[in-house]
Amino acid sequence: MAEQRNDTVFGMILRGEIPADIVYEDELAVAFRDIAPQAPVHVLVIPRRRVRSLAHAAADDQALVGHLLSVCAAVAEQEGVAESGYRVVTNIGENGGQSVDHLHFHVLGGRRLSWPPG
């Protein structure tokens, strides 16, 4: 079955239609700097294959989701915030504040982050 076209901004980045500051990539995942950084380090980790959100991840996406989290940790290490600490966040749906319909994990670090989030 033909895969549905990914018309999100992240689909455009994956196809090379718009630029992104890519900091890591492998066969399953791509990580790039957020265009509106909320912390000195703000990287988005996304799967190449479109999954709309964590809520849309199917049972056979478990390995992919685990891989994405491993990539988050590797990116934090690469960006030099692993020791000082950082946060990994995924927003889901309207109340979660999700604005791009393609699963992504935010890796935020380089400053002390407040809790709870707003």
Burial 48-82 (b: 16+ CB within 10 A, else e): eebbbbbeebeeebeebbebbeebbebbbebbebe
Number of residues that bind ligand AMP (CB under 6 A): 12
Q: Does residue 91 bind ligand AMP (CB under 6 A)? A: yes
Residue 104 designated active-site: yes
C-alpha distances in angstroms, 102 versus 16, 63, 115? Answer: 16, 17, 25
Q: At 79, which amino acid appears?
A: E
User: Contacts with ligand AMP in 2-41 (CB under 6 A)?
Assistant: 9, 18, 20, 34-36
The residue (of 21 and 77) whose beta carbon lies closer to ligand AMP is 21
Within 10 A of 114 (CB to CB), how many other CB atoms are there?
Answer: 7
Report the C-alpha gap between 3 and 108 in whole angstroms: 32
Binding mask 43-82 for ligand AMP (x = CB under 6 A): -x--------------------------------------
Q: Does residue 99 bind ligand AMP (CB under 6 A)? A: yes
Closest separation between CB of residue 2 and ligand AMP, Å? 26
Q: Which residues bind ligand AMP (CB under 6 A)?
A: 9, 18, 20, 34-36, 44, 91, 97-100
